[in-house]
Amino acid sequence: MTQTRMLAGTPVFPIGLGCMGLSHGYGQAVSPEQAQALLLGALDQGVTLFDTAALYGFGHNEELLGRVLSPHRSRFFLASKCGIFREDGRRRIDGRPDTLRRTCEDSLRRLRTDVIDLYYLHRWDKSVPIEDSIGALAGLAQAGKIRHIGLSEVSADTLRRAHAVHPIAAVQSEYSLWSRNVDIAVLQACRELGAALVAFSPLGRAFLADGLPPSVDALADTDLRRGMPRFQADAFVRNQSLLPLLRDHAKGLGCTPGQLALAWLLHQGQDIIPIPGTTNLAHLRENLAAVDVTIDAALATELAAHFHHERVAGDRYGPGTLAEVDTEVFPAHGAGGGQHINTKA
């Protein structure tokens, strides 16, 4: 497989590193020593895309990357996000131009850099026209503080509106064998506009890597999966029935289930860049080795059909978070788990 893919006109390794889990999301943040070893290990293994956000650890993650990676700034492509942050101890979505400009200055300081290569609007603040938010980011690009603009968790319609204001280099959305909402419309819109699709949670938050305990109750109290419908008791048991086929094919190919899940994503097109996260160097090496796993069209089709959205139990987010995102979703399909159609599709 080609060992680089294009992101905002820059060649990057086909698999990047999602850094959120080093600071929050899946339990207690790792130690500074472990985080540093993981980040430097990723750099040494050839990772060129590092993905963070102002939200992650409420600034902690950007500070971590700044401290560890800034001496090596010329060796990697840096992506961060604005539009969600903490104020007065509360998480807020705020896409007002003044807020985005202030957030960018804070991120630059924490990241110890003069410019962010790719700056995403983390969520579209639906109280602010997307054109206004993108206009503010375009001003940051003109000022040389960011190089390219991205969007996260948006519909095809919102992407096109944003792109009319300023070219959008990438859309970041959840994309994996069991989360394929972008196939409804966003991936096609990206291809029409020349934007890459950066796939977060490409391993289904470890589900597709076959690395989760048998019950969500075994996860840390602060693990965000405890509140996600797919990981709740009945849904999780039903979803487990999807894994044996993935395991069997992985065994036949001489790889792990997680590597096969990543290889399936890579097979979907050269414009797709997965960014799995990990806190473990061995898992990092395993993920990156997925670029050497080759699958044919027949297997890709079989896996896609096996993980069809009607066979996946539960939504990917709870109702509150679903209301925040703008991504198209599949029609409700009864046994597969109450997803609701977004008429913008």
26 classed as catalytic: no
Residue of 56, 119, 120, 317 marked active site: 56
Token duo for residue 192 = 């029409």
Catalytic residues: 56
